[in-house]
Every structure is written in structure tokens, then in C-alpha cells.
Amino acid sequence: MRQSPTGTEEPEDPVVRVLGAYLASVVAAVATFMLLEAVKHISSPPVAVTDEVPFPNDWFTVALSVSMVLLIVGLMAFLPFLLCLAISVCAGIRHPAFHVACGCAIGLTLWGIFSSNVDEPILTVIAGAVGGAVYWRLAVRDCPSRPGHT
């Protein structure tokens, strides 16, 4: 519930809540994936100087590449997300394990699409699990249940 300008409480729009939670879960999943990739590269043996790929050294390039990754992941994960959303709403499933499992499945789906760019599928599964947990926390946990469902 939110306060209106007149002081009365208005119910939140469920579409806004779901889409906002979806966007937040995509940001959390991409951030988790990028951090895991950074840790993997930091902990791996250094590459030869001749094979080293130059990292962009200006913040604009980094921000642009992160924005593009967020856009691509957000668009590619939207249809699997809608499928998981339809299943959870129709079946009345609100347990966090379901949403984390859906996040893992979406991560594996995206790994299947981008497997040439991502060498370890466990990274996408972990990122998907984080995204599913964030979605459950923001959209499902505090949402009132429908009558007849738990």
C-alpha cells in the first residue's frame, strides 16, 4: 500500500511491481555474473603479454558495455520469465525455491544461447539464482496472496 496525496492508502499496481522486480532481478543477475567473471579472471594465471586483451580504461566505455549487457539479458530473459511467471501465478506457487529454480533455468537458457561467450555454465546458474531470489523478495514475498492460494 502507498499513501496518496489525500492521505488514503492506495493499492500498488501489480504490473508495475512485477516489471520493477524483473528489472531489479536482471540488474542483480548481471552484476553477480560480472563479479564472478572478474573474480575468475583475477584468480586465474596471468596471460602472456602478447595475448592480453586491452581493458577499456574510460568509464564511458565500461558504462556503455554494462548497459548493452543489461539490455540484451533483459530482452533475452523476458520470455522465459513470463513462462515462469505464468506457472507461478496459475499454480499459486509463492515459495522462494521455485523462483530461484526458475532463475537457474533462465540462466541455463541464456548460457545455451551465449555458450560461445561464456565458458562456465555454473556462473550463469548462480547469477540466475540471485536474480530469482531478488525477484521473489521484491515481487512475491510481500504481495498479498489470492483467495484460495497460500
Convert the pLDDT of each residue in 59-103 to its tens digit: 788 788 889 989 999 999 999 999 999 999 898 888 999 999 999
Radius of gyration of the chain (CA): 19
Cα–Cα dist 30/140, whole Å: 21
Model pTM above 0.75? yes
What is the chain's mean pLDDT, rounded? 82
| Tens of each residue's pLDDT in the chain, 150 residues | 555 566 655 556 788 888 999 999 999 999 999 898 888 878 877 766 666 566 666 778 878 888 998 999 999 999 999 999 999 989 888 899 999 999 999 999 999 888 777 778 899 999 999 999 999 999 887 766 655 544
